[in-house]
Amino acid sequence: MDSTVATRLQQFIQTKGLRNTPQRDAIVEAIFSSDEHFTADELWDRIRKTQSKSSRATVYRTISLLVEAGLLHEIDLGDDQKTYDPNFIDSPAHNHLVCIDCGKVIEFEDDNIRLLNDCAARRLGFRASKQSLKIEACCEALRLHGRCDNLIEARIQGKRLPKHR
């Protein structure tokens, strides 16, 4: 886990007059020891498989805390549940590409896109503070050769598949 997370979280906790608890630590660890996106309940499952104990309510509450602290971002994957992304600390301005065949999510950064969006906002008389770009796309592999390797991988791993199509 990036030590930046620990530092920034400590700062947030201090400032707000909050406390350190083993449950919170375990949840934060579970989130930031991976770069995977997750829903609240997926995280709760992940926690249960460790030796540490936390109630579902605490998981929800900690997620809210981290979002408020700006360490975790809520993203829209077209899912019904809220999805969270722990990678905004390392890549503060990344975008998402979602494969409509297998649901795989690819993160990428692009300064030109960011800049162009910034300009668009300015032209409308605003100052952009946050951009969220999601591109839904199909892999050329599937279109050209009738197979999406990600799709097979996703099936094996039992991942949530997209509802579209």
Residues of this chain that interact with DNA (CB under 7 A) are 13, 17-24, 39-41, 53-58, 60-62, 64, 80-82
Are the beta carbons of 4 and 87 closer than 8 angstroms? no
Nearest distance, CB of residue 89 and DNA, angstroms: 21
Instruction: Name residues whose C-beta falls within 8 Å of residue 89's C-beta, 6 or more positions apart in sequence.
Output: 2, 4, 5, 8, 71
What number of chain residues touch a copy of itself (CB under 8 A)?
Answer: 35
Nearest distance, CB of residue 109 and DNA, angstroms: 26
Check the annotation: does 102 bind a ligand: yes
Nearer to a copy of itself, 134 or 147 (CB): 134
CA angle 96, 93, 163 (to 5 degrees): 20
Nearest distance, CB of residue 106 and DNA, angstroms: 23
CA distance 165 to 18: 46
Determine if 133 is a binding residue for a copy of itself (CB under 8 A).
Answer: yes
